[in-house]
Chains A and B, each alone.
Chain A
Amino acid sequence: MKLDVLYFAWVRERIGLPKEQVETEAATVADLVAELVAREERYAAAFADVTALRVALDQELAEFSAPLGGVREVAFFPPMTGG
């Protein structure tokens, strides 16, 4: 499946791009993270501590254990600081 993967704030800065299309058969968010980490050092640096990260699936907050079936857009970012 093809996924749009988005990165925000320091995750975007570490990986060096705001958005990319990823061809993957990952079953869950955690599987996708493992695939990305295996790619290149900059992904490993961004995902070194996933407890410091949040994930959204199709613009709704989700868990790293969540399945990716039917999902089109995945976003990774640090805890939000609005207000």
Chain B
Amino acid sequence: MTVRVQAEPFDFGAESAAFAAGATSAGAVVTFLGVVRDDSGTLARMEVEHYPGMTERALAAIAAEATARWHLLDALVIHRYGSLQPGEAIMMIATAARHRAEAFAAAEFLMDYLKSRAPFWKKEFGADGAVWVAAKDSDEDALTRW
């Protein structure tokens, strides 16, 4: 299980390939890439703030729970912070399990939990100034299905 919180860009293809190559007894590897979205068409950049220390702890705890619940053979979480441009990769997840149902479910669980339980905050800088992205009720509701 690997958790990385970093300002630097990451190479989704290389990370995915290395993860899959390392998961030798897995029958299924699921990867997910999160990209900075520009809904308004005027997003200049996004700043991602986090809580160093707690972020790594929270992500490791979420990944450990996913690993235990779905008997994962391995899991990878990379999340960036700092200044990002629209279209840039912001985070990725990879899960490896014996079967695809476990790998998919664990990846969805990781996504749902890191959205509202890992201490990241996004601020969008656009044509109308800067706005903190508000948490959605639907993100909180998503946790109840687990």
Contacts and interface: CB of A to CB of B under 8 A. Distances in A.
A3 B60 CA distance: 25
B139 to A, nearest CB: 8
B122 A81 contact: yes
Contacts of B49: 8-9
Interface in B59-82: 79
B51 A56 contact: yes
Among B54, B115, B116, B140, max chain A CB count under 10 A is at B54
A80 B121 contact: yes
Nearest to A61: B117
A6 interface: yes
B117 A80 contact: yes
A59 B57 contact: yes
Interface residues of B, number: 27
Nearest to A6: B51
A56 B132 CA distance: 20
A80 B48 CA distance: 11
Interface stretch (A26-34, A35-43, A71-79): A71-79
Interface size class, chain A: 10 to 19
Interface string B107-130: 000010011111111110000000
B91 A81 contact: no
Nearest to A56: B54
Contacts of A82: 79, 91, 114-120
Interface of A: 6, 8-10, 56, 59-61, 75, 77-83
The 10 closest A-B pairs by CB, nearest first: A79-B135, A82-B120, A59-B54, A9-B121, A83-B115, A82-B118, A82-B114, A81-B133, A81-B122, A10-B132
Given A75-B119, A81-B134, A82-B79, 8 more contacts: A6-B51, A8-B121, A9-B121, A56-B51, A79-B135, A82-B115, A82-B118, A83-B34
